[in-house]
Amino acid sequence: MEMTALVLLGLFFLLLIANVPISVSIGLATLVTLLMSMDLQPAATTIAQRVAGGIDSFALLAIPFFILSGLLMGRGGIAKRLIECAMALIGALPGGLALVNVLSCMLFGAISGSSVAACSAIGSFMLPEMQKKGYNPGFSAAVTAAAATTGMLIPPSNILIIYAIASGGVSIAALFMAGYLPGILVGLSLMLVSVVYAKRHNYPLGDRLPLSLVVPRVLAALPSLFLIFLVIGGIIGGVFTATEAGAIAVLYSLLLSVGIYREVRVQDLPGILLKSAETTAIVMLLIGTSSAMSWLLAYENIPQTLSDALLTLSDNPLIILLLINLVLIVVGAFLDMTPAVLIFTPIFMPVAMELGMSQLQFGIMLVLNLSIGLCSPPVGSVLFVTCAVAKIRLEQIIKPLLPMYLAMFAVLMLVTYVPWLSEFLPALFGL
């Protein structure tokens, strides 16, 4: 077992270092490891079956729908209206532009379901504005990168759907509701850091707008915000499934972007559909190859062995959960969220449940861990997208990010040790 794990993980990280795409690295590492115990033809056949089986799920149909909905929202002028709404509501507070940045990322991330889309759409508008007002470019980019990750927790979230499948059937509706309080808490903690930073550096206050300007801006954003209530309300109310909610989100996004806001033309749709198909293909290949690796880990009994080893390290559940968190933070800094969820859920979830943690609480803890990795070097995708949008070097963003890492880690500890944060809303709605 030790040799299998060593070959599998060693080859995987070696391929990653060689800049081989993640899905290919996972598939090749799994195939080569399997060749240690069987011939090429049965090994290749087994891998192919596991890849096909990994994506053979009705729940996964929600992902391409939400990807397409997010692209339509991103191109449809949604970001601009959300920023104007946030500016009208909180722009005059200390660190107002930073607070607007955080709130806009939270709202757009919740609507689009993509942290990369949030940092790109919101950052392309907010970062130049913040720099014009005298904000440090590194701090402005750090706010955007950290806030964009809240979309992974605030539903609808594709990664929560993937966790629901990896965990063996946790209710997607319950997971969606479980993500709200932790996601909002992360956003509030980032706002607190932003206010303290802005006061220390004497950043200017924004203009306080009259009510005659606030109301139209809020009303203009309401059609976009209604998507959240439409999708989540329908799922919780049992009107439709998460997959059907994705289809409804596409129809509503199409109506909003093409019919009401008119920022997406009919001739733009083929390009948007093609981009959606490309993104879906990448995600599905990651899910398929990660499922194959997860099967191999289970076949070699590696999760159970690691679980037993963790439980023998200490009798204190607090220490074991802290160790799991530290491991997952490191994993998130190197590995994309989709394979990380599929590979590490079967490894750590049994340990967490043995310590009294529910599948809901563990799922939110896992996603929050990996969200921190999205804005962490050396691989964090959100971090590099934000640097590209802000046109700054990586070293300029790291120092301002440190207090934001601490704020996110503090929320992570609360999620880990306070089950109420993840379980209150699902229980309130009977999920």
How high is the pLDDT of residue 347? 85
Same domain, 70 and 142: yes
Rounded to whole angstroms, how far apart are CA atoms 132 and 150? 26
Same domain, 211 and 109: yes
Q: Is the pLDDT of residue 1 over 70?
A: no
Same domain, 46 and 73: no
Same domain, 390 and 419: yes
Same domain, 20 and 43: yes
Same domain, 44 and 75: no
Same domain, 281 and 406: yes
Domain region containing 130: 55-428
Of the three residues 12, 28, 54, the one that is the final residue of a domain is 54
Same domain, 267 and 135: yes
Which amino acid belongs to residue 94? P
Which residues, at least 6 apart from 319, have a Cβ–Cβ distance to it below 8 Å?
313
Same domain, 46 and 126: no
Which amino acid belongs to residue 239? V
Cβ atoms of 167 and 363 closer than 8 Å: yes
Same domain, 181 and 191: yes
Of the three residues 37, 54, 71, the one that is the final residue of a domain is 54
- Closest CA relative to residue 313, chosen from 266, 285, 351: 351
Of the three residues 13, 36, 54, the one that is the final residue of a domain is 54
Per-residue pLDDT tens over the stretch 59-78: 788 888 888 888 887 787 77
Across all residues in the chain, what is the average pLDDT?
85
pTM: 0.87
- 210 phi and psi angles, rounded to 5 deg: -70, 160
Q: Is the pLDDT of residue 410 over 90?
A: yes
Percentage with pLDDT > 90 across the chain: 18
Same domain, 135 and 2: no
Per-residue pLDDT tens over the stretch 231-244: 888 888 888 888 88
Max CA pair span of the chain: 74
Per-residue pLDDT tens over the stretch 202-232: 877 766 777 777 888 888 888 888 888 888 8
Binned at pLDDT 50, 70 and 90, residue 307 comes out as confident
Rounded to whole angstroms, how far apart are CA atoms 119 and 145? 6
Mean pLDDT of 37-55: 87
Same domain, 201 and 280: yes
How high is the pLDDT of residue 206? 67
Over the range 113-148, which residues count as b (16 or more CB within 10 Å of their CB) and which as e? bbbbbbbbbbbebbbebbbeeebbbbbbbbbbbbbb
Q: Is the pLDDT of residue 107 over 60?
A: yes
How high is the pLDDT of residue 2? 67
Number of folded domains that form the chain: 2
